[in-house]
Structure 1
Amino acid sequence: MTINYQSMGEGKPLIIIHGLFGTSDNLKAVARELSDEHKVYLIDAPGHGDSDTVVPLSIANMANAVSDFIKQLNVGPVQILGHSLGGKIAMEIALANPELISKLIVADIAPVQYKPRHDDIISSLQAVPLSTLENRKDADEILARKINEPGVRSFLLKSLVRDKSKPGEWMWRFNLDQLSSDYNELIKSNREGTYSGPTLFIIGSESSYVLPEHRGEIVGRFPNTKAKTINGAGHWLHAERSVAFVKICRDFLSE
């Protein structure tokens, strides 16, 4: 199992994990800001970017793969920051292997069972004819049939690239077939257990991913936790309010 990553900076190790359908580039601006004090490892989550895929593509299996990567780094306990699906993976690592994690930051996700909310995105991605597609504009028009938000389409299209192994064809930089097949695994709650290390939840005030009714499941698993809300930010809080997001992370990591 190979985890692809980028690294930058020097200092205490910090692992950053992106969300569903993303790559290690998604939080690169955050990584650059934090790399003045930390050795930052931006990873492609399993089944994304240039990392291998685990089968099934479950939270537990993804967390095990990233845990093995952390052990291979051989740098001692690491700080970890995960956004959305990356936050689920980060929480699972902390609950399953607390000795690997010195501090945990979870960006706009809770350790709870979620209802499906990506059906239109998955079906839209599947509708793009990769073997005959002419250009990105045509792909955007296909996605726009069900995905109204230009920002979401733009994010997805960042992972649409030419397939070097098949001249003239395109490919997604995530394993769409496996993500689709195992989607119900990705929205399950995190395992039971406790991580007592310092934990921070960063929440977008306009997001529906972390709600007041989730507090019990959060505190039950992460008793040493605090929460910060970024006003005016939605689920993509690290991009929408980047200055505030970086400051909150920096303050917590320096405590």
Structure 2
Amino acid sequence: MRQNAAMGISGLIITYNEEKNIQQVIECFNFCDEIIVVDSFSTDKTVEIVQKFPNVKVIQHKFEDFTKQRNLALDAAKNDWVLFLDGDERITPKLRKEIIKELNKKEQKDAYYFYRKFFFAGKPIHFSGTQSDKNFRLFRKSKARYIEGKKVHETLNVKGTVGILKNKLLHYSVADYESYKKKMIHYGVLKGQELAAKGKKFNLLIQYSKTVFKFFKAYILRLGILDGKEGYQLSYLQSLSVFETYESLKEQN
């Protein structure tokens, strides 16, 4: 049964080969009166699964970058309030209640940060830089838009008031080591293309110094060492993404 907020809200997600996740994400939108999936021509059963839900609209659009896909979803939403989720994110019952309660208030903020609880292959991670991880997930599209030119780690520009919800969003970002490694390398490649588009030039010293510092920051300064083996792996893969960013920039140059 759908739990309604006082006003209309659109649930949004961008997808590519999310057959393992998509049904659970769609179910997280059970209090939304509209759900929009922007799919990059998935080759698995993502679209087939989505089409089983009667209130879901599927838009297929060739992937250029994450920002363009997200803004396309925003443009398609009929409601001003939108809830954006990634395939590896889940809303808890407590967070759902908090969202509905917030939208039922006479006055709301224009955008809300969600803190995220990070999981590595099902194991909760407490440090490694994840303790301060938060993103905008609920906002008025009339007051916010993703900044053009950001190919990865897309940034929402909010022209209004900002709040933070208390309950955390579950973030199952790492299904296993190898898939996360591919993901981080992919992000690095896109970031390198972004830097090249801004006119940045490759520098070997910067590549190695930033790679080393990224590992030191995650593993030592952000206490990744306290997360055991997973903390070491996360810190390594974060630094690998930085290394690949500059490899990508070198190729673009």
Per the normalisation by structure 1, the TM-score is: 0.31
Q: Which has the higher strand share?
A: 2
Per the normalisation by structure 2, the TM-score is: 0.31
Structure with bigger gyration radius: 2
